[in-house]
Amino acid sequence: MFKVQSWAMSNIGCCLVVLGMLMAKSATAQESDSTSSPSPKIKFSDIVQIHGYIKNLNIVSISENPLIGNSTENFLHNRINLKITPGKGFLIGAELRTRLFYAGKTATTPTLHENYELDGGLVDMTANIGRSDAVLLNTTLDRLYLGWGNQKVDVRVGRQRINWGVNLAWNPNDIFNAYNFIDFDYEERPGTDAVRFQYFGKNMSGFEIAVAPREKWLESTAAVMFKMNARGYDLQFIAGQYRDEVTAGIGWAGNLGNAGFKGEAQWFAPFEGFADSTHTVSGAISVDYAFKNSLYLNGSLLFNSNGIDDSDPAKLVSFFSGTALSAKNLMPTRYNGFITASYPITPLINSSLAVIYGYGPHLLLINPSLTYSVSNSFDILLAAQLFFSEFPEITPTGISSSYQNLSNSVFLRVKWSY
């Protein structure tokens, strides 16, 4: 196995685009030659769709804790989403995420420059294409795949999102590409380098097989998911390999009266020392309800058998940074609760409030936000994230824990979509 160097990203993308154009031209020519009767003229936009956005995000974070400190973050973010449908059933997808960090913590910290250049996939499609003491320009292809499908099957090869989770905040079933709910600015969520086959049966039944290989097989993920519908509930059953562990899971989505009721659970156990080792179970259930006045509520509970019951600073800090996040470790604490509410104050202004609580260190995140839609393609977001938790501190008499306001962050984002 090998990794493709970062400089190859643009070549891969260009090759796929050119291939798609040639296939599109061929398909158009074959269609016109196959019949003598006039056919509707195929437009370029019928074959190639390009959309995306440009946004600027400014973050100010304040903390009295010396281990966290004050910081600012500023970056421009450009996303380009490209889809090419060159022939019946064929699809080429490429999505490029480029961020220019300027005058903030990331831009001025060399070690963070290196972290942003890391790519967790089989193929290295992330690169820093420009950096200095105050600026970092980073780009990554977080989607790049070839696909073919019809009403019964769908096959995709390449970097893609495999979304097996059903809940809003926590998804133990997302063994291929878990995401951090706190990272609200990454709407598309991470992808993974994989081969995926889907079969669609009757009455919402079917199955999926997905393999995400890595350089070493015990770092890979491979699983099958069966789907069915019973008594109005969509059910899914998962079994396979998660890195160096065997895994199995279940998920469901249905209704309790007029409220939505969803849940998922995943079990993990190492191949080596299976009988003597500690197994991990992660499970989440959620209920959501939309009122007639457009108020929306969603509540969820998460159990993480691998979570902590105390204020371990290393695990808390690593969770906030996203480095410790995985399908088997969606929160650093064992027992967790989540509730969110959203309400359109006016047709152009939407408000929301999300609260996450972790029992043990009494980890608390309060996340209010306001979104103003200036037009269909332009909006402004104002948000905050307030973190509280028990946290160790050194005193003259030794080490003790106290409940602290660890950090407060304010976000201002301007976004233009095209």
For residue range 7-54, what is the model confidence (pLDDT) as tens digits? 444 444 444 444 444 444 444 444 444 445 566 777 888 899 999 999
Residue with tokens 């070549």: 11
Tell me the CA distances in angstroms from 91 to 38, 82, 125, 176, one per residue in order.
26, 10, 20, 22
Q: What is the mean pLDDT of residues 269-286?
A: 93
Q: How confident is the model at residue 326 (pLDDT cuts 50, 70, 90)?
A: confident
Phi, psi of 218, rounded to the nearest 5 degrees: -75, 5
Read off the pLDDT of residues 192-225 as tens digits, 9 standing for 90 and up: 999 999 999 998 899 999 999 999 999 999 999 9
Buried b (16+ CB within 10 A) or exposed e, 126-161: bbeeebeeebbbbbbbbbbbbbeeeeeebbbebbbb
**Interatomic CA distance for residues 307 and 369, integer angstroms:** 28
**Interatomic CA distance for residues 407 and 73, integer angstroms:** 14
Structure tokens at 183: 């990272």
Structure tokens at 302: 């998460």
Tell which wins on pLDDT, 180 or 73: 73
Q: What is the mean pLDDT of residues 386-414?
A: 84
Structure tokens at 307: 């979570």
What pLDDT was estimated at residue 4? 40
Residue with tokens 């500690």: 278
- Pure H helices in 172-322: 313-321
The predicted model scores a pTM of 0.85
Q: Is the pLDDT of residue 101 over 50?
A: yes
**Interatomic CA distance for residues 173 and 263, integer angstroms:** 10
Other beta carbons within 10 angstroms of residue 50's beta carbon come to 11
Q: How confident is the model at residue 342 (pLDDT cuts 50, 70, 90)?
A: very high
User: How many residues are given for the chain?
Assistant: 418
**Interatomic CA distance for residues 118 and 144, integer angstroms:** 17
**Interatomic CA distance for residues 143 and 254, integer angstroms:** 30
- Secondary structure class of 176 (helix, strand, coil): coil
Read off the pLDDT of residues 81-99 as tens digits, 9 standing for 90 and up: 999 999 899 999 999 999 9
Q: Is the pLDDT of residue 294 over 50?
A: yes
Q: Is the pLDDT of residue 409 over 80?
A: yes
Structure tokens at 107: 């831009």
Tell which wins on pLDDT, 173 or 323: 173
Dihedral, CA atoms, 160, 161, 162, 165, nearest 10 degrees?
180
In the chain, what is the straight-line distance between the N-terminal and C-terminal CA atoms, in Å?
Answer: 39
Q: Is the pLDDT of residue 2 over 70?
A: no
What pLDDT was estimated at residue 383? 98
**Interatomic CA distance for residues 261 and 256, integer angstroms:** 6
Q: What is the mean pLDDT of residues 95-122?
A: 92
What pLDDT was estimated at residue 392? 73
